[in-house]
Amino acid sequence: MKYKDYYAALGVPRDADIESIKKAYRKLARQYHPDVSKEPDAEARFKEAAEAYATLKDPEKRAAYDELGQRPSGEEFSPPPDWRHQYADNAHAFEDIDLSDLLDALGRGARAQRGPVPRHGRDYETAVRVSLEDAHRGTTLNLEVQYEDGPRTLEVTIPPGVTDGQKLRLRGKGGPGRNGGANGDIYLHIALAAHERFRVDRHDLYFDLALTPWEAALGAEIEVATLDGPVLLTVPPGSRSGRKLRLRGRGLANGRGGHGDLYAVVHIDVPATLSPEERKLFEQLAQASRFNPRSVAGSGS
């Protein structure tokens, strides 16, 4: 059989703890999930990472794997006799078998003498893309899962307050357990879809607010959109480009009964063309005003 370097597949050292292994797997699962990644080898990389994680997260399988030693990935090898005797009652039980199948089968011979051992069902991982509105209010969606016996559609509830990169666990919705073992779980990796107006920072939202020169200079009351409907925003006099105006509690739901904040980032715009009256007024302002944004005093530096 061919050796597979599971540590290299996840990009972790051989002495990595379980949390480092989980973190590395989650990162690769998000990066190479076929529903998300456009890379040509995404599906193969995703399966490679899942196979490595399935072995290294299980203490018994990891110990057995480590006893096989370290060799170049893809190198042909055969488990040593003492390994075979430890994990199987038949010295030829693992001929012509893939490494992942070998590790999955380890100990079955010894366990048979003690009777069937409960086995946890298979866990599944999948990415789910959620709109900002659905992340804010929660939603129910249909999820197609490719089980070992074929595809099935599950109705999944996404609670309010999910964030980009969050992982949700659907307990007992994975593969069936064996010999009385618990069913596996499904892990949903949440990816927030890009929004046409808002930018997201955890539960806070940002958007660009275009102001006329007179609105910025004199102040104004402006109706702005939020995820819960339009509200009035007070623009203080003298607001400059880049200033952030906060609407407290108007951001994303945080899943704990509260909300993030909404920030309007000020940008001052000018008309591309002027009517004769507008030009006259701007010329009068230019003559009357002593404001110079390029001076030290005028820039507020």
Using an 8 Å Cβ cutoff, are 234 and 293 in contact?
no
Mean of pLDDT values over 258-279: 94
| 178 and 143 part of one domain | yes
Q: What is residue 301's predicted lDDT score, i.e. its pLDDT?
A: 40
Mean of pLDDT values over 287-296: 84
Q: What is residue 86's predicted lDDT score, i.e. its pLDDT?
A: 60
| 100 and 157 part of one domain | no
Domain closes at, from 175, 192, 209: 192
One-letter identity of residue 171: R
pLDDT digits (tens, 9 = 90+) for 87-145: 554 444 555 567 777 776 664 544 444 456 677 788 888 889 999 999 999 999 998 88
| 103 and 19 part of one domain | yes
What's the rounded Cα separation, in Å, for the pair 39 and 222? 44
Q: At what angle do helices 18-32 and 42-56 cross, to 10 degrees?
A: 160
| 148 and 229 part of one domain | no
Tokens coding 52: 């490595």
Residue that has been written with the tokens 């298979």 in this structure? 122
Domain closes at, from 112, 137, 170: 112
One-letter identity of residue 67: E
What's the rounded Cα separation, in Å, for the pair 173 and 121? 9
What's the rounded Cα separation, in Å, for the pair 186 and 163? 18
Distance from CA of residue 297 to its chain's centroid? 46
Q: Does residue 84 carry a pLDDT above 80?
A: no
One-letter identity of residue 69: G
Provide the whole-model pTM. Answer: 0.57
What's the rounded Cα separation, in Å, for the pair 132 and 129? 10
**Considering the domain boundaries, does residue 294 fall inside one?**
no
Q: What is residue 45's predicted lDDT score, i.e. its pLDDT?
A: 87
Mean of pLDDT values over 180-195: 88
**Considering the domain boundaries, does residue 228 fall inside one?**
yes
Q: What is residue 116's predicted lDDT score, i.e. its pLDDT?
A: 62
| 237 and 271 part of one domain | yes
Number of domains in the chain: 3
Lowest mean pLDDT of 1-5, 138-142, 273-277, name the range.
1-5
**Considering the domain boundaries, does residue 297 fall inside one?**
no
| 185 and 271 part of one domain | no
Tokens coding 84: 């075979």
| 94 and 185 part of one domain | no
Q: Does residue 204 carry a pLDDT above 90?
A: yes
**pLDDT band per the 50, 70, 90 thresholds, residue 291:** confident
Q: What is residue 281's predicted lDDT score, i.e. its pLDDT?
A: 93
**pLDDT band per the 50, 70, 90 thresholds, residue 32:** confident
17 three-state secondary structure: coil
- The HSE-up count of residue 224 (CA atoms within 13 Å, CB side) is 26
**Considering the domain boundaries, does residue 281 fall inside one?**
no
264 three-state secondary structure: strand
| 139 and 184 part of one domain | yes
| 70 and 157 part of one domain | no
Strand partners, 224: 231
* Residue 149's CATH number: 2.60.260.20
**Considering the domain boundaries, does residue 260 fall inside one?**
yes
| 92 and 139 part of one domain | no
Lowest mean pLDDT of 43-47, 77-81, 232-236, name the range.
77-81
Domain closes at, from 80, 112, 144: 112
Q: What is residue 117's predicted lDDT score, i.e. its pLDDT?
A: 62
Average pLDDT of the chain is: 84
Which is more confidently placed, 283 or 182?
A: 283
| 129 and 174 part of one domain | yes
**Considering the domain boundaries, does residue 144 fall inside one?**
yes
Greatest CA span in the chain, whole angstroms?
99
* Residue 103's CATH number: 1.10.287.110
One-letter identity of residue 287: Q
Q: What is residue 83's predicted lDDT score, i.e. its pLDDT?
A: 66
**Considering the domain boundaries, does residue 60 fall inside one?**
yes
Residue range(s) defining the domain that contains residue 238: 199-275
- From residue 67, give the alpha-carbon distance in Å to each of 16, 62, 70, 79, 87: 16, 9, 9, 9, 11
**Considering the domain boundaries, does residue 94 fall inside one?**
yes
Using an 8 Å Cβ cutoff, are 170 and 186 in contact?
yes
One-letter identity of residue 135: A
Distance from CA of residue 206 to its chain's centroid? 20
Q: Hey, what's the torsion of the CAs at 230, 234, 239, 240, to 10 degrees?
A: -10
| 105 and 15 part of one domain | yes
